[in-house]
Amino acid sequence: MRLVESFTSLQGESTHAGRICFFVRLAGCNLDCNYCDTRYARDFGAGEPATAEELVRLAKESGVGLVEITGGEPLADPETPELCRRLLDAGFEVLLETNGSFSIAPVPCEVRKILDCKLPGSGMAGHNDFGNYALLAPHDEVKFVISGRGDFDYALDVIRRYELAARTRNLLASPVWGRVSFEELAKWVIDSRAPLRMQLQMHKLIWGDRTGV
């Protein structure tokens, strides 16, 4: 696998927002979302080679008990499930952020998967692997990144069609930075009475578009 960067920061999204977290960002993504804010990690040749053993060592050196594996798209690398297992065996709490186009079946069930549902506004909605929803554990999360009202309605339809609220309580709605205002999305969530939790990107509110923080 190839490591683009690793760093300790605050978790900025998900139900774990605000927690101190050690991030492992792997190289390579099979999608090209038009709002992507980590394009420097899209290239499969980015970063430097790293073994699972080396990444576990870095996590131990961080002194942090929560580790997130992100990208890029970490499940594009077939070694990622083994990295997850090694981190779990080393006593870490493990989060995996994935774009939802690869099956999560190989990922250890103890890992807390944060599964992105690509909406039409991303330009990548045709790549969702909806079979993943049957594999969700109650501690897993599904994230909807909202570019506009059409995306929000699409998300509501996915929640209903796949009965997601019966699989996990962690259904997240997040505005695309600069496209949907916080107040606008808040109103949609409230008016819908849907089983959604609105989230903001805490790291962007604190550090803007700086990387590695």
Show me where the domains of the chain are located.
2-207
User: How far separated are the first and last CA of the chain, in Å rounded?
Assistant: 22
CATH, range 2-207: 3.20.20.70
Using the CB atoms, write b or e for 111-139: b if 16+ within 10 Å. bbbbbbbbbebbebeebbbeebbebbeee
At residue 179 the predicted structure's pLDDT band, cuts being 50, 70 and 90, is: very high
- Angle of CA points 32, 1, 12, to nearest 5°: 55
pTM reported for the whole predicted model: 0.94
Q: Are 97 and 73 in contact (CB under 8 A)?
A: no
- Angle of CA points 31, 199, 11, to nearest 5°: 75
212 pLDDT higher than 90? no
Q: What is the pLDDT of residues 47-88, one digit of tens each?
A: 999 999 999 999 999 999 999 999 999 999 999 999 999 999
State the average pLDDT over residues 116-145.
98
Which pLDDT belongs to residue 207?
83
Which pLDDT belongs to residue 213?
62
- Which residues contact residue 168 at a Cβ distance below 8 angstroms, ignoring those fewer than 6 apart? 136, 137, 138, 139, 140, 141, 142
State the average pLDDT over residues 154-174.
98
**112: helix, strand or coil:** strand
204 pLDDT higher than 90? no
Q: Give the span between the Cα atoms of 198 and 186, in whole angstroms.
A: 7
- Which residues contact residue 128 at a Cβ distance below 8 angstroms, ignoring those fewer than 6 apart? 100, 101, 117, 118
The percentage of residues in the chain with a pLDDT greater than 90, rounded to a whole number, is: 92
